[in-house]
Amino acid sequence: MLEFYSAQITNLALHKIGNKSKDEHLILSDSELITIDEEGLILKEFFLKPFREREENYFHFDSDKTQAGVLDFADDIFDQKDFIKSSQDIAKHLYDCSRHPHIKPGELFVAHFTNIIIEGEEVDAVGIFKSEIKQHFFKFKNSAQDLLLSIEEGVNANKLDKGCLIFNTNREEGYKLLSLDTNRYDTKYWTEQFLKILPLADNHYFTKSYLKFCHKFAKDVILPAEDKQQEVMFMNKAVNHFAKNDSFEEDAFLRETIDNPQLLPEFHNYKGNEGLKYGIEDVSSFPIVDSAVREARKGIKDIIELDTHFQLKINFTNATVMDRYLEKGWDEEKQMYYYLIYFNEELKK
């Protein structure tokens, strides 16, 4: 769990990053950015609010990358070396990575925070934030007789384009960090070329990845072998198993979710072939993280779509409804499949 209430910005630098492939300039500041109290509060909210509103998908630096990068510059800031020089090194590195023609120029903030709480531990953190998208806004000014209007261009204080927070914890494993990018057209440049980060294989990651794997198994194996009803039913049971248990054990999970014994060897074969892609090839037990279950559930469709322009929406909070109240059959006269749904009354909402 993250808490930013007591967080303080102790150092702040601002640089201008152009697109190197277009010969746009890199402008480096030689001194820290000084803010008054109100500006500091607005900037703190601008930097930290997007992370407060996100699910906690943590990453770590890929320490196998031998060339100097953000990992080394974060080390320097945490070791209280020259902050401005470290922030300039970060800006130079980002500029060197800004070679694709789609990459937009923007302002780069580098900040050093203290008093951030992560999982009950108070740590300092390095924040790297880039603003790219400019917007027009109205500015009003009173004169002696009239109210004057001017249109100016600037950055929306409620929308951070790119950012990462590097927490001063798990240093030997490449730190623990969060990353966001609201502009999807150049995500690889930010995460892979500039930050060089990998998903952190913690319990949140295992929970989310295992459910993603199950979703793919349902589509690739259960749907072709059986039908859409069984695919949705499997995912219904899978999500509910994760939602009602504190820890995951694969054998118990399979007993509860797979009714057809012929699909058990198919599951193990599929995991052997696809598990590496999801980082769960050797994972069969772990504590379940509720926030990861909620996040994974958002990406799972709970609808059976029919070619006759009807949709059946299944409530994932009750895993038994499909077994008890939904039947599938074949009508010889119409030469069509049908679903038979049982109910007591129509709910008036």
pLDDT single digits (tens) 166-188: 999 999 888 999 999 887 666 68
Confidence of residue 111 (pLDDT cuts 50, 70, 90): very high
**Is 135's pLDDT higher than 80?**
yes
- Supply the DSSP string of 33-44, one letter for each residue: PP--HHHHHHHH
- Give the per-residue pLDDT at 14: 96
CA dist., res. 105 & res. 329, Å (int)? 59
Strand pairing of 311-313 and 303-305?
A: antiparallel
**Is 336's pLDDT higher than 70?**
yes
- Give the per-residue pLDDT at 91: 96
pLDDT digits (tens, 9 = 90+) for 216-236: 999 999 989 888 888 888 988
- Give the per-residue pLDDT at 68: 65
CA dist., res. 304 & res. 232, Å (int)? 8
Q: Which residue has the higher pLDDT, 338 or 320?
A: 338
Single out the residue of 231, 223, 205 nearest to residue 292, CA to CA.
205
CA dist., res. 228 & res. 276, Å (int)? 26
Q: What is the mean pLDDT of residues 193-209?
A: 90
pLDDT digits (tens, 9 = 90+) for 53-83: 666 678 999 876 556 689 999 999 999 999 9
Structure token digits, residue 287? 């504590």
**Is 267's pLDDT higher than 90?**
yes
Phi-psi region at 82: left, alpha or beta (left = phi > 0; alpha = psi -120 to 50): beta
Q: What percent of the chain has pLDDT over 90?
A: 49
Q: One-letter amino acid identity for 148?
A: L
- Give the per-residue pLDDT at 187: 62
Confidence of residue 275 (pLDDT cuts 50, 70, 90): very high
pTM, two decimal places: 0.75
Q: Where are the domains of the chain?
A: 2-200, 204-341
Structure token digits, residue 78? 């945490």
Query: Residue 99: helix, strand or coil by DSSP?
Result: coil
Rounded to the nearest integer, the mean pLDDT of the chain is 88
* Bridge partner residues of 331 (DSSP): 336
